[in-house]
Structure 1
Amino acid sequence: MSTPAPTLVIRGGLIADGTGSTLYRADLTITEGRITEIGPDLEVPHTTGELDATGLVVAPGFIDIHTHYDAQVFWDPRLTPSCFHGVTTVVAGNCGFSIAPTRPEHREVIARTLENVEDMDVATLAAGIPWDFADFPGYLDSVERHGVGLNFTAYVGHTALRLYVMGLDAYERPATADEITRMAEVLRTSLRAGAAGFATSYSPTHQGIDGKAIPSRHSERAELEALLAVAGEERRGIVGFTPGPGLTIADLYDLQPGVGIPFTYTALMTARNGNHERLLTLNRDGWARGAQVWPQVSPRPLAFSFGLAEPFTLNSNPVFAELMAGDAAARVAAYADPEFRRRAREVWSAEGAIMVPRWATYRIAESTAHPELVDHALIEIATGRDPLDTLLDLAAEESDPGLLRVRCVLANDDTDALYAILRDERCTLGLSDAGAHVGQLCDAPQATDFLGNWVRDRELMPLGTAVRKLTGVQADLLGLTDRGYLREGHWADVVVFDPATVAPGPIRRVRDFPADGERLTADRPVGIRHVLVNGTPIRLDGTTQDPPTLPGRVLRVPRRPAGA
């Protein structure tokens, strides 16, 4: 039987193979979706296609381990805008917010939860999710049937898992011993179906339906440890955390050695109080003790654009959270109420208060009542008054508080501190949040921002090391054995980019989601020349391609070898 001829050769590029090694010039051939040969000046007489990569870097496709594409994958299988930025594999279900397992009677509850914690539009979710599944294996099968443009996998989410087993009681109380046993069984079945792992959140910023704490925040240690035991026994994927008062970051370093598979958490960001320095030290000490915990870091400031109708992140304050069950009229009335304002300020002034607004970073983004204030800083508008009073006065003057939109920075804008964090070899790139907060931020261009603004412009690290952070490190963390590297026999997930020009490009607001849903997108990156998924080009010469068959695969994460 004759060997198939290569279907594509990429000529003359600088190979960044995902190992962190120095780049070298070589050609690369692809046959039936896999890399078949890498070497200089390869003779390939019968190939059906050739790409010139002279002066460009040829790298493994980027792996984004922190997305929320769980629902969007159904109506936007190309997973825009990640696909434009060299991403070829995504992990959904982060923070414990998967959309499976979900019983039919809880579909609206899941949608409203995603609305409150991840800024997803309920009407868009209702129109876009086919709901031809209930359990997690059925969800992966559904994604596979509908087709996907990038490689796709997802965590089993703790919030969905509790709701599936406990019903609405998941929002109210700890689980019983019997419920914990049933959750463990559902998790085991889901992991064996190929889930990327298990994810949970204890973050006080995560408020679900009617402003209630999300179900995972009601779990006690016995429940968590039972679920972690299943993850450890199955040895599949990773465990993702969003820590909080019920489970601190320090706790992760105590728990991980007993579980065995790697942990990751969101997120290690620069903070005004210098907490990032403590977390870096905690991480280094933890690794020295044998704890494999990977903090996720981002090269971008954590910046939000939000309307006062759904005031994330102000609603991490319980006084604001109380309004989440009401309508626009109730919010307008509350915003004008001096007692409401006093109570909100009281929470933020308490010792240990979290997510206290950085009023100096607030700017007016949109206003119907006061268009003349757009792009002006809130503290300038306040002219010595309390910024909260000024903001809520402006919101109350709108016919709907959602018509007042502000931009603000929460964290991660200390460039010098971020430089040190990004260089740490035990921190991994994450928290793009692609697919979530779509009307508030767009950090899907994380990879192009990292390569352009940090690696090239700030000379953060050698290019080969940077590519490894985006590829090989992530594949190893997930336990993927044939992706993340340019190696013969591996799947041909490949990105070809210009290191001299690569950049994230502009962000714009569009309405292209089901039910006329709007979002921010970044669909015009600079310097991303070619992108291939399983050997099929989805971007050629900077232009998006429309292959006849969606080339992505649902990745069923394999069991790790014992001791790995």
Structure 2
Amino acid sequence: MSADLVIKGGTLVDGTGEPRRRAEVAITDGRITEIGVNLDGRNVIDASGQIVAPGFIDIHTHYDAQVFWDPGLSPSCYHGVTTVVAGNCGFSIAPTRPEHHDLIARTLENVEDMDVAALAAGIPWDFATFPEYLASVERRGTGLNFAAYIGHTALRLFVLGDAAYERASTPEEVTQIQATLREAMLAGAAGFATSFAITHRGVDGKPVPSRFSDRTEFEAILDVMREVGRGVVSIAPGQQCGIADMYELQPKTGVPFTYGALLTSPTGQHRQQVELNHAGWSNGAQVWPQITPRPLVFALTLAAPFTFNMNSNFAELMGKAIPERREAYANASWRAKAMAEWDANPGFTVPRWETFEIAQSPAHPELEGRRVSELAQQRGVTPFDVLLDLALDEPELALRARCILANDDVDEVAALLSEPHCAVGLSDAGAHVSQLCDAPQATDLLGNWVRGRNAISLEMAIRKLSGAQADMLGLPDPIRRVCDFPADTERLTADNPTGVQHVLVNGTPIRAEGQQVNTDLRPGRLVRPAARQLARGAR
């Protein structure tokens, strides 16, 4: 019988890690029906000279809101990504109550650099519960396959109300949290996501609601995840659950854990995390640190310096008007207090001043591209003073600086990419729109690390972008066999990577001959994880 479509002439890399081979792929009704030779189809894609591979799965996005006004989910759709997972870091937009719509939006503004006005205009808010949210997305349709975690911050706000931003939950509230989580998981949530990270501050600089939970609440949540036996637990680690704790908790819970992030650092701390992961897997713990092929580069303004907000002196200014910030920045005593806090707490939270450069300065365009450390040396002051002084020269503190936080050691990144039990994640697609764009991580991995540096094999890279992600998420076999085939990549840009010739979502082309097509169609599906066979050690 003739298939709807056959992909001919290409080299198949199937996402299992097995060696590439010449093969044709037949698709009917959006499903792969045969892989072989001399296949017949009513339509043919000529993939001669190209790699044919499963669609990529981006496990760390924040498309929870954008899916409503941009169902194509750009820019991920340009890079061979055909399935995304939203709700990361615990910042889903459901469950929610009408009185908390603005609070959810302002939380997302602070932690994920989202625009409150855009959220108000774009989210239909025709849902309250998480099942209703999934139904709303499914009813409207998506350009890519879509999965979503239920987020801890939204979950606590739904149960505790405004008190979620103030305290731990009571036993009665814990029971309600469990019931709401159970309802979401059975309706098809991809898992549970939370943040205990000091980087995440919400409204008025307060820790986000998930950071007010305690270990009792968290372990009660894990009990539900063990009970339902599907999806994953995604954690931004912190006081309530550190990285080492995950290797103790995961075997008792049964479903896999993943955390963000495992990034290279000048201190070499990432090597300790790698050794911990080796030991954990040897002992049966399924914990997947998230890695990325890209350096963690941030662009920040002094009007809203996201990466500085881990410093309590900056956190106190969150939500303040520009005049109040100007007053603080001009105050020598305030500057000294901020620097003293960094000096007292070395590590990830301390800016790497040697990486800072001026990205945009309307008042001093001649300084754009200059290293802040060089300017500091010339002026006989600290790099921190240079940033603040230049910002004060701008009417709205509009100075924009670019800096590297981590993951810029090429050799060490290559080593992390070769780790078998690390998941490619951290694209943050849909968030941080004025600060970073790591949605092209799939084409970065293929173009720069496979082809450019030969750091890992093509087979391993595609396994990490597709099959390994599906295994971790527990995607059902019918979903995993959907035809989503991009080609290899040559040149990396956010919105027009050359080399990604064809992309199919459930058998429907969304990219052909290197150009986006069928932009009005919504061939994506809501992806629900399948139930797992849990290990005997899960309690």
- Three-state SS of the structure 2 residue aligned to 1:494 is coil
Range 546-555 or range 158-167, more displaced:
546-555
Unaligned runs of 5+ in 1: 506-521
Which residue does 2:179 correspond to in 1?
A: 185
- CA 1:352/1:181 → structure 2, altered by over 3 Å: closer, same or farther? farther
2:250 equivalent to 1:264: no
- Three-state SS of the structure 2 residue aligned to 1:110 is helix
Q: Which one of 276, 279, 294 corresponds to residue 282 of structure 1?
A: 276
2:427 equivalent to 1:460: no
Paired AA for residue 65 in structure 1 = I
Q: Contact conserved, 2:254 with 2:534, CA < 8 A, in 1?
A: no
Which residue does 1:471 correspond to in 2?
A: 466
- 1:549 Cα shift? 3.0
Q: Deviations over 1:351-389 (max 9, x none)?
A: 455410001111111112111111111112222311111
- Three-state SS of the structure 2 residue aligned to 1:163 is helix
Which residue does 1:448 correspond to in 2?
A: 443
After TM superposition, which residue ranges in structure 1, 4 or more long, deviate above 2 angstroms?
Answer: 351-354, 481-485, 561-564
Q: Which one of 477, 483, 492 corresponds to residue 504 of structure 1?
A: 492
Q: Which one of 6, 11, 16 corresponds to residue 9 of structure 1?
A: 6
Paired AA for residue 516 in structure 2 = T
Which residue does 1:363 correspond to in 2?
A: 357
- 1:558 Cα shift? 2.1
Identity percentage of aligned residues: 58
Distance 1:85 1:267 in 2: 22
Which residue does 1:536 correspond to in 2?
A: 508
Q: Contact conserved, 2:476 with 2:529, CA < 8 A, in 1?
A: no
Q: Contact conserved, 1:236 with 1:558, CA < 8 A, in 2?
A: yes
Distance 1:371 1:362 in 2: 16
2:394 equivalent to 1:398: yes
Q: Deviations over 1:318-373 (max 9, x none)?
A: 10011112111211121111121111011101145541000111111111211111
- 1:469 Cα shift? 0.7
Unaligned runs of 5+ in 2: none
Matches within 5 A, 1:340-489: 340-352=334-346, 354-382=348-376, 383=378, 384-401=380-397, 403-482=398-477
Which residue does 1:492 correspond to in 2?
A: 483
Q: Contact conserved, 2:300 with 2:435, CA < 8 A, in 1?
A: yes
Distance 2:239 2:374 in 1: 35
- 1:121 Cα shift? 0.9
- 1:562 Cα shift? 4.4
- CA 1:274/1:206 → structure 2, altered by over 3 Å: closer, same or farther? same
- Three-state SS of the structure 2 residue aligned to 1:469 is helix
Distance 2:316 2:206 in 1: 9
Range 344-353 or range 391-400, more displaced:
344-353
Q: Contact conserved, 2:299 with 2:400, CA < 8 A, in 1?
A: yes
Distance 1:9 1:246 in 2: 51
Range 381-390 or range 117-126, more displaced:
381-390
- Three-state SS of the structure 2 residue aligned to 1:313 is helix
Q: Contact conserved, 1:96 with 1:159, CA < 8 A, in 2?
A: yes
- 1:496 Cα shift? 2.3
Distance 2:56 2:115 in 1: 28
Computed over aligned residues only, the root mean square deviation of the Cα atoms, in angstroms, reads 1.3
- 1:156 Cα shift? 0.5
What is the aligned residue count?
534
Distance 1:472 1:528 in 2: 19
2:14 equivalent to 1:26: no
- 1:244 Cα shift? 1.5
Matches within 5 A, 1:238-253: 238-253=232-247
Paired AA for residue 555 in structure 1 = V
- 1:48 Cα shift? 3.1
Matches within 5 A, 1:54-453: 54-352=48-346, 354-382=348-376, 383=378, 384-401=380-397, 403-453=398-448
- CA 1:20/1:322 → structure 2, altered by over 3 Å: closer, same or farther? same
Q: Deviations over 1:269-315 (max 9, x none)?
A: 00111100100000000111111000000000000011111101011
- 1:85 Cα shift? 0.2
- CA 1:79/1:483 → structure 2, altered by over 3 Å: closer, same or farther? farther
2:496 equivalent to 1:524: yes
Distance 2:228 2:338 in 1: 45
- CA 1:68/1:172 → structure 2, altered by over 3 Å: closer, same or farther? same
Distance 1:181 1:142 in 2: 26
- CA 1:374/1:28 → structure 2, altered by over 3 Å: closer, same or farther? same
- 1:472 Cα shift? 0.4
Q: Deviations over 1:118-163 (max 9, x none)?
A: 1111111111111111110011111111211000010010000001
- 1:547 Cα shift? 5.2
Q: Deviations over 1:230-273 (max 9, x none)?
A: 01110111000000133210010010000000000001000111
- CA 1:484/1:61 → structure 2, altered by over 3 Å: closer, same or farther? farther
- CA 1:395/1:408 → structure 2, altered by over 3 Å: closer, same or farther? same
Distance 1:177 1:184 in 2: 11
Distance 1:438 1:235 in 2: 35
Which residue does 1:40 correspond to in 2?
A: 37
Paired AA for residue 523 in structure 2 = P
Q: Contact conserved, 2:255 with 2:534, CA < 8 A, in 1?
A: no
- Three-state SS of the structure 1 residue aligned to 2:19 is coil
Q: TM-score, normalised by structure 1?
A: 0.93
- CA 1:224/1:198 → structure 2, altered by over 3 Å: closer, same or farther? same
- Three-state SS of the structure 2 residue aligned to 1:491 is coil
Paired AA for residue 234 in structure 2 = G
